[in-house]
């Protein structure tokens, strides 16, 4: 006899999966924070600070890639015609969370771009 999985069990499993993803992403953001904390060191040249920002941007790229994979997975579930309404609601809520996260990461990416444009202008005699 096949074993049936209840909606409660499915929900718990999905929430656990979301939590695992969030934990991995949090660790990436801790790495990013740690990399950027070096900016507070005294006596750093602007070039060294710029190198730190560039190094940190590689970490941000990894975070963005993870977020996009998660977003793609959610969209795949939401486009499925076999998703139950309870599970669909859970994924719609998750979708909103991930979209918000994308927006915050894009804002941070824009902060990095400002630093890069400023450094470019400085190096090319425009500041």
pLDDT digits (tens, 9 = 90+) for 23-40: 999 999 999 999 999 999
Question: Rg of the chain's alpha carbons, rounded to an integer?
Answer: 20
The rounded distance, in Å, linking the Cα atoms of 80 and 121 is: 49
Instruction: Give one word for 125, left, alpha or beta, with left for phi > 0 and alpha for psi -120 to 50.
Output: left
pLDDT given at position 73: 94
pLDDT given at position 126: 64
81 in helix, strand or coil? coil
Q: Which of 79, 71, 62 is nearest to 24 (CA)?
A: 62
The rounded distance, in Å, linking the Cα atoms of 101 and 104 is: 5
The pTM assigned to this predicted structure is 0.82
Averaged pLDDT, 64-70? 96
């Amino acid at each position: 006899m096949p074993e049936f999985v209840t909606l409660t069990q499915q929900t718990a499993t999905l929430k656990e999966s979301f939590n695992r993803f969030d934990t991995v992403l949090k660790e990436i953001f801790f790495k990013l924070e740690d990399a950027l904390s070096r900016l507070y060191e005294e006596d750093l040249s602007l070039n060294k600070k710029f190198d730190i920002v560039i190094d940190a941007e590689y970490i941000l790229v990894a975070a963005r890639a993870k977020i996009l994979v998660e977003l793609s997975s959610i969209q795949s579930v939401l486009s499925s015609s076999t998703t139950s309404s309870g599970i669909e609601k859970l994924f719609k809520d998750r979708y909103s969370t991930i979209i918000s996260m994308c927006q915050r990461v894009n804002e941070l990416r824009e902060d990095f771009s400002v630093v890069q444009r400023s450094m470019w202008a400085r190096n090319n005699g425009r500041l």
